[in-house]
Chain A
Amino acid sequence: MKDLRRFTAARVGLGRAGNSLPIREVLDFGLAHARARDAVHFPLDVPGLRAECEAAGWSTVCLESAARDRAEYLRRPDLGRRLSEASKAILAPIHGPFDVAFAIADGLSALAVHHHALAVLRELRPMLDGSWNAAWNRAPLALVRFGRVAAGDEIGFALGASMVVVLIGERPGLSTPDSLGIYLTWEPRSGRRDAERNCISNVHGGGLSARDAARLLGVLMTESRARRISGIGLKAPALS
């Protein structure tokens, strides 16, 4: 029944060894899971990412959440949503107002961040520099270790930004260990709910390209700035 595989990417027609899976399938699955696990635990290379971002013309600040290590980060999403005291102190002397603050956070896949985050920002650059309409006054780019989406609320608020955009590694699946998610929040502050954000997900090699993601994000940011909202009231445009 191998021909069933023509119809779906699901693991059908695998054959049998007794009642179990043939060894090739067991190891195939093991490889996919190993890649996903490595992605979850892959540490964010902050100096490397910072160098790349600065080379691309971004000034940066390196921050960390209140989670002390990866294990605590996975157990305590509440800590991943807040900044450490040291990071709060780093942001204290920086004063806006800014039109937008960007934050890159490892989330559940630092691999996704390393593969796709800067690519999205590069594609977005012409829009930010005013190729669509008014140029965007940007806060320094925040690089956040052990960060969740809501960490952006505290960062955006501290910087005095009208809007925060968080680029973050999504939960790895067996087929996609390096998928990036992008979250936009108007007037960020602690306590914002998920319904008040817009999300672009599945940015990876087999999913949404960096170029398409940047185009979607550009439209959402422009709309958000014009209408002064984000979330369910702001619908994502269709990609044509």
Chain B
Amino acid sequence: MPWTQSVGGVRHHFADLRTLLARASPQRSGDELAGIAARSAEERVAAQMALADLPLKTFLDDFAIPCEDDEVSRLIAEQHDAAAFAIVSHLTVGEFRDWLLSEQASGEILARLAPGLTPEMAAAVSKIMRLQDLIAVAAKIRVITRFRTTIGLPGRLSTRLQPNHPSDDPAAIAASIIDGLLLESGDAVIGINPASDSVETVVNLLRLIEKLRLHLRIPVQSCVLAHITTQMEALRRGAPVDLLFQSIAGTEAANASFGVNLALLGEAHDAARELHRGEIGDNVMYFETGQGSALSADAHHGVDQQTCEARAYAVARQFRPMLVNTVVGFIGPEYLYDGKQIARAGLEDHFCGKLLGLPMGCDVCYTNHAEADQDDMDSLLTLLGAAGVNYIMGVPGADDIMLNYQSTSFHDALYLRALLGLRPAPEFEQWFEQNRRELPRAMSLLAASA
């Protein structure tokens, strides 16, 4: 269905819903690369005006990608809870933005609304929200998950300890884990990106974390972020699997390029839950996403990268994940050009994820060919802290020597906690307080024997 909007006597024409969404997207290089971005600043605002007048209900009939072409669209249709939607079903996208900011839209109400919203509704409203809107609304929503620690409680900020090494050297990885624990990092997960995707590597690294965890009696969960089929094979071989990880995207074709589909993810979810390793909860999945992944796989169907990203959250929420984070600046400047585009994308993703009921974290990061530096990371980190992000990354000195990009450091998390009065997950905090004096000695011994 085509849409038009008149601005100052000029009629702007948008051929269909996905074109309208793309033209209304705040500027980013990935949509320009795809040839779907607004062709002028005025056209962008005209599209935002047309979008603001669109009834939310439109998204229940007109999918950005037709159901017959895409299993993610079918999942979105199946997930939709009409009763939960009732409270906002009469609103336009613009009225929805105003309502989200109102006192009526409390955290409790927003949590009940989540199953009634589709990813396209979340994406649409985010496109007409300023950064302060994205922060203010997200800050009202708490999404709490549990395995051995509780993540997402008010007043808490957790970290994924990311101790990667280019040759998966166990002693080097142990040294980075120890460094992170000493700086109160790791309460969301100790998660290693392996350089090798072999089952043996996954098994060995999971055993390494397990040994540390049991020796030091740390309340924490582990994950080795190989392909999910590799992790499932490790699980079948008896490796101590806590969380299962997978990168996911918002279209069936993009997920196929990652070598996954909904059935496979469902199988993995069942397998991890059957282990019953969670001590205080059974959220067992860990997903990463990021704007641009569908376009880079040539699997975006003409849909803008931020809407594709929100659609990935429909996939994520199907499996009650422990952790979900966007890896916002990893993909490079052809998708998010500079610090400004990365910051906006990070806050959009956090907002859309929370609005759809996900325990959102963020890998605040950049590559060396993007127009960004540590100052940009500090800005986004601080804004996400204000928005109530569940967790950020903890990488030694912010320099990931395996993936060759810059993320946030253990020190960055300490800064943010101190600045905003936030604390680690309660179980982890208690362990740290009880063991902090013994820690350096116990750890030196371990490092020496690793």
Residues of A within 8 A of B (CB): 1, 3-14, 16, 19-21, 25, 29-30, 32-33, 36-37, 39-40, 74-78, 108, 171-175
Contacts and interface: CB of A to CB of B under 8 A. Distances in A.
Contact of A75 (B174, B178, B333, B406): B333
Contacts, number: 121
B198 interface: no
Interface of B: 29, 32-33, 163-165, 169, 171-176, 178-179, 182, 332-334, 337, 367-369, 373-374, 396-399, 401, 404, 406, 409, 411, 414-415, 417-418, 440, 443-444, 447, 450
Contacts of A14: 396-397, 411
B334 A33 contact: no
Contact of A40 (B169, B369, B409): B369
Contacts of B172: 7-10
A3 B397 contact: no
Main SS class of interface, B: helix
14 contacts: A1-B443, A7-B171, A7-B174, A8-B171, A8-B175, A10-B165, A10-B399, A11-B397, A11-B398, A12-B176, A16-B414, A74-B334, A75-B334, A175-B401
Contacts of B175: 4-8, 10, 12
Contact of A4 (B334, B398, B404, B447): B447
A108 B369 contact: yes
A171 B401 contact: no
Given A11-B399, A20-B415, A173-B368, A78 B33 contact: yes
What 7 A-B pairs are tightest by C-beta distance, nearest first?
A11-B397, A8-B172, A7-B175, A173-B404, A19-B414, A12-B179, A36-B368
A33 B397 contact: no
Contacts of A75: 29, 32-33, 333-334, 337
Contact of B368 (A10, A20, A78, A172): A172
Nearest to B162: A10
B203 to A, nearest CB: 21
A74 B368 contact: no
Contacts of B33: 75-78
Nearest to B296: A77
Contacts of A36: 368
A135 B125 CA distance: 64
B165 A21 contact: no
B418 to A, nearest CB: 5
A21 B406 contact: no
A240 B450 CA distance: 29
Contacts of B369: 40, 74, 108, 171-172
A3 B447 contact: yes
Given A20-B415, A33-B374, A33-B406, A10 B174 contact: no
Nearest to B415: A19
- Best-buried of A19, A20, A37, A74 by chain B (most CB within 10 Å): A19
- Best-buried of A12, A13, A33 by chain B (most CB within 10 Å): A12
B176 A10 contact: yes
- Best-buried of B179, B333, B337, B447 by chain A (most CB within 10 Å): B179
Contacts of A74: 333-334, 337, 369
